[in-house]
């Protein structure tokens, strides 16, 4: 943990003074007070995160952390493990769901190879950051060593730093990794102390029997690693994936850099949960994008006491929900920046009561 202390020192809560100033501005705009609902909350939060009373959300980037999982050999996914690398290629060619939605919202997609079991040549849009070609099978011990988990977190921290340096205004946190709902459910079950059955879903399309097998695998993995599950970082190392650790570091880094983060669905939320467990203030910097179809997401969001922006029964990952939420964030900021005030538009104010 002590390696992260330096980061934690630089993560501060957002200042309610900015929330108040932003709300005062919103209340001058030609609309009944609070009639833009959660869009007003979003605008206030972005103002407070950036400490900028005229924030911009022009530059939007979705970071997709990709990695393979040793546990994927245990029949926990509806798809074979080589799909991770194949989908990375699909992302880089622009054919995946996240590419379409990123284009739709005017965002860029960057893929971080943090642990894919494939040797990619140098490719446009691919950020190299491989720690290892996939995690170890967590039925035989920890998925990652502490050093590996920390290295993955470091990659995420670096990506956040780079985003800030490039003047990115809002980021999306997405992922790809065959087997990663298994890792995510295992982490979630331990962190929120909840029965494995209750937080394990059908992933990319398991049958009921396959899902039961996945629950059993998760129980065994937790049992095997029981003695190691003493703190959030150790849970992440023992049961996690490189993309989850990378996203956790990325989210910590964004909080440090005061960058608003749209957290995608189930897996990204698990990474955010670990980040918040490590440093609760991180929550101030996050937008939870959507309620995933994956069982367990509701328990996670309830544990964090957050309500996601969208509920469209999606469960694709990649950052697809984050992309849609980033469009709402941008819309909220545009409303805040561009709407006329009552005075400017010469619109009568509300009647005195």
**Is 30 or 56 the residue whose CB approaches its own copies more closely?**
30
The span of 93-101, 137-145, 186-194, 233-241 binding its own copies (CB under 8 A) equals 93-101
Catalytic residue among 40, 175, 243, 318: 318
Dihedral sign from CA coordinates of 276, 281, 286, 287: positive
Retrieve residue 259's tokens: 């960058």
DSSP, collapsed to helix, strand or coil, labels residue 173 as: strand
With contacts defined by CB under 8 A, how many residues of the chain interact with its own copies? 63
Best CA proximity match to 186, nearest among 306, 114, 273, 246: 273
If one asks whether residue 232 binds its own copies (CB under 8 A), the answer comes out as: no
**Is 52 or 210 the residue whose CB approaches its own copies more closely?**
210
Dihedral sign from CA coordinates of 99, 102, 103, 109: negative
Active site residue 318: yes
**Is 53 or 347 the residue whose CB approaches its own copies more closely?**
347
**Is 122 or 353 the residue whose CB approaches its own copies more closely?**
353
If one asks whether residue 83 binds its own copies (CB under 8 A), the answer comes out as: yes
If one asks whether residue 125 binds its own copies (CB under 8 A), the answer comes out as: no
Interactions with its own copies, residue window 279-318 (CB under 8 A): 293, 309-316
Among 5, 6, 32, 167, binds its own copies (CB under 8 A): 32
Retrieve residue 225's tokens: 């690693």
DSSP-assigned states of every residue in 22-87? HHHHHTTBSS-TTTTTHHHHHHHHHHHHHT-SS-----EEEEEEEE--GGGGGS-SSS-TTHHHHH
Under 8 Å between Cβ of 80 and 204:
no
Among 19, 198, 204, 306, binds its own copies (CB under 8 A): 204
Cα dist from 131 to 4, 67, 134, whole Å: 18, 9, 8
Which sequence positions are flagged as catalytic? 318
Task: Summarize as ranges the residues that interact with its own copies (CB under 8 A).
Answer: 29-33, 35-39, 77-80, 82-83, 86-87, 89-90, 93, 95-97, 99-101, 103-104, 203-205, 207, 210, 293, 309-316, 320, 324, 327-328, 330-331, 334-335, 338-340, 344-351, 353
């Amino acid at each position: 943990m002590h390696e992260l202390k330096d980061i934690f020192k630089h993560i501060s809560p957002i200042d309610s003074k900015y929330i108040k100033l932003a709300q005062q501005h919103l209340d001058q705009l030609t609309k009944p007070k609070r009639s833009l609902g959660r869009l007003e909350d979003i605008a206030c939060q972005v103002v407070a995160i950036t400490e900028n009373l005229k924030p911009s959300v022009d530059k939007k980037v979705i970071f997709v952390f990709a990695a393979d999982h040793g546990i994927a050999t245990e029949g926990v996914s509806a798809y074979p493990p080589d799909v991770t690398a194949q989908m990375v290629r699909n992302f880089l060619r622009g054919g995946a769901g996240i590419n379409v939605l990123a284009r739709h919202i005017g965002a860029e997609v960057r893929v971080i190879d943090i642990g894919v079991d494939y040797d990619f040549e140098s490719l446009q849009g691919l950020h190299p950051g491989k720690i290892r070609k996939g995690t170890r099978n967590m039925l035989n011990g920890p998925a990652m060593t502490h050093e590996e988990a920390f290295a993955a977190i470091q990659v995420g921290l670096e990506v956040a730093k780079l985003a800030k340096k490039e003047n990115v205004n809002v980021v999306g946190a997405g992922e790809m990794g065959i087997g990663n709902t298994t890792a995510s459910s295992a982490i979630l079950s331990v962190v929120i102390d909840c029965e494995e059955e209750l937080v394990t879903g059908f992933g990319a399309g398991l049958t009921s029997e396959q899902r039961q097998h996945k629950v059993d695998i998760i129980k065994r993995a937790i049992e095997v690693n029981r003695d190691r599950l003493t703190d959030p970082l150790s849970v992440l190392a023992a049961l996690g994936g490189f993309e989850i650790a990378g996203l956790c570091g990325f989210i910590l880094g964004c909080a440090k850099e005061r960058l608003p983060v749209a957290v995608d669905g189930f897996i990204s939320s698990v990474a955010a949960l670990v980040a918040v467990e490590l440093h609760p203030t991180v929550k101030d910097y996050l937008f939870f994008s959507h309620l995933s179809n994956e069982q367990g997401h509701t328990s996670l969001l309830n544990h964090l006491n957050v309500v996601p922006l969208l509920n469209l029964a999606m469960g694709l990952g990649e950052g697809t929900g984050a992309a849609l939420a980033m469009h709402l964030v941008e819309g909220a900021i545009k409303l805040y920046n561009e709407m006329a005030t009552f005075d400017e538009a010469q619109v009568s104010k509300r009647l005195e009561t």
